[in-house]
Amino acid sequence: MTSVIILAIESSCDDTAVAVLQDGRILCNKIASQKVHELYGGVVPELASRAHQQHIVPLTQLALKEAGIALDQLSAIAFTAGPGLLGSLMVGTSFAKGLALALDIPLIAIHHMEAHVLAHFIEEPHPAFPFLCLTVSGGHTHLTRMDGPFSSTMLGKTIDDAAGEAFDKAAKMLGLPYPGGPLIDQHARSGNPLAFKFASPQIPELNYSFSGIKTSILYFLQAETRKNPDFITQNLNDLCASVQYTIIRHLMKKLEKAVQQTGIREVALAGGVSANSALRSALIEAGKNGNWNTYIPAFEYCTDNAAMIAIAAYYKFKEGIFSHQQIAPFANANY
């Protein structure tokens, strides 16, 4: 049987990523990060797309070389079709389309959030269908029931801001540099999560909301710093721990409710925020208490990467689903 070898491109935001997969196994997974955005406290779309243009060709050459794969061995090219920054997506899409056309091989469009969920199938152990997946990133917060690789139902989502954005905005309020989410995690390890109390959103059903949490943090910090200008620096660890506890508690309450409603005890965590140590610990602890089977990808497959694009494309390749065909968007979400 001929091997299935897929070159995957991910360029949805500020990381250029390229992976090579052979018969479901990742041979190489490369990422080129963009440090320029640290100067601006957030991702600048125009700078991101220009950096993708600089990185995509040499990174692809490096990935193929490390994987020991030649262009004429490729079976298909996969790419992130969305959601993401338009300019960044255009760079990856154009490159993937051009290469697939030149090699006369199939092109496979992948939904970014679908790939985050399917990242669980890169390595063992992986969840059995059906399973629940809480996908948490800088731009999305989804609670999804997965009945198959391409069969999903959205059970809940944020009605305003994403959890990852709440982490980054809270970090900015605390004077931490971008990206601030991982820094909150670091400081929180030395802090008391119950030191300060912030708003707990009361959102119906299984949906989420984080705008109220951000507002609560902002007003609290403004009030305290008026009384003591050094309040934040004197209480940074406790503040980070309390912010993190509030966000994670909101995430976990809805996940626990979803398990109760569905009876499904195969439970997974995905997305960039799944790299957060406290969230990972909270899922593991909930799994022990509730007799769940819990799954979290390795750190390198949590944040944006091309390996997750490759594994999603591998399943589509086996089903013969290519980009010229109509593909139902992941969990009824738009690209």
How do the domains of the chain map onto residue ranges? Answer: 5-118+301-332, 126-296
Structure confidence at residue 335 (pLDDT): 35
Structure confidence at residue 231 (pLDDT): 98
Q: Phi and psi dihedrals of 29, rounded to 5? A: -140, 105
Structure confidence at residue 328 (pLDDT): 45
Query: Which residue has 């398990």 as its token pair?
Result: 259
Structure confidence at residue 38 (pLDDT): 72
The CATH number of 126-296 is which of 3.40.50.720, 3.40.190.10, 3.80.10.10, 3.30.420.40? 3.30.420.40
| Encoded tokens for 121 | 């199938």
Same fold yes or no, 5-118+301-332 and 126-296: yes
Each residue's pLDDT tens digit, 82-131: 999 999 999 999 999 999 999 999 999 999 999 999 999 999 999 999 99
pLDDT of 332 strictly over 80: no
% pLDDT > 70, the chain: 95
231 or 44, greater pLDDT? 231
Lowest mean pLDDT, pick from 145-159, 284-298, 320-334? 320-334
User: ∠ at Cα 115 (109, 118), nearest 5°?
Assistant: 130
Topology of the domain covering 5-118+301-332: Nucleotidyltransferase; domain 5 (3.30.420)
Q: Are 25 and 60 in contact (CB under 8 A)?
A: no
Confidence class for position 330, pLDDT limits 50, 70, 90: low
Confidence class for position 14, pLDDT limits 50, 70, 90: confident
Task: Name every residue whose Cβ is closer than 8 Å to that of residue 328 and which is 6 or more positions away in sequence.
Answer: 150
Each residue's pLDDT tens digit, 276-301: 999 999 999 999 999 999 999 999 99
Confidence class for position 37, pLDDT limits 50, 70, 90: low
> What's the chain's average pLDDT?
92
Q: How far apart are CA 167 and CA 153, in angstroms?
A: 26
Structure confidence at residue 316 (pLDDT): 95
Q: State the angle between helix axes of 211-227 and 236-262 in degrees (0 to 180), rounded to the nearest 10.
A: 160
Does pTM surpass 0.85? Answer: yes
Q: Are 241 and 191 in contact (CB under 8 A)?
A: yes
**Strand duo 293-295 + 16-22: pairing:** unpaired
Q: Which residues are 76's β-sheet partners?
A: 6
Alpha helices in the chain (DSSP H): 45-67, 86-103, 112-118, 163-173, 181-188, 211-227, 231-234, 236-262, 277-290, 307-319
Confidence class for position 334, pLDDT limits 50, 70, 90: very low
User: ∠ at Cα 82 (80, 86), nearest 5°?
Assistant: 105
Structure confidence at residue 48 (pLDDT): 87
CA 104 to chain centre: 31
Which of 129, 127, 174 has its CA nearest to residue 147?
129
Average pLDDT over residues 37-42: 69
pLDDT of 35 strictly over 80: no
Q: How far apart are CA 79 and CA 26, in angstroms?
A: 16
Each residue's pLDDT tens digit, 313-326: 999 999 988 875 43
Q: Are 64 and 57 in contact (CB under 8 A)?
A: no
Structure confidence at residue 39 (pLDDT): 66
**Strand duo 25-32 + 76-82: pairing:** unpaired
Lowest mean pLDDT, pick from 30-39, 199-208, 253-262? 30-39
Q: Are 201 and 209 in contact (CB under 8 A)?
A: yes
Average pLDDT over residues 210-214: 95
Q: Are 137 and 116 in contact (CB under 8 A)?
A: yes
Average pLDDT over residues 252-268: 97
Structure confidence at residue 324 (pLDDT): 57
Q: Are 95 and 9 in contact (CB under 8 A)?
A: yes
Helix, strand, or coil (residue 203): coil
pLDDT of 233 strictly over 70: yes
- Buried b or exposed e, range 63-76, using 16+ CB within 10 angstroms: bbeebebeeeebbb
One-letter amino acid for residue 277 of the chain:
S
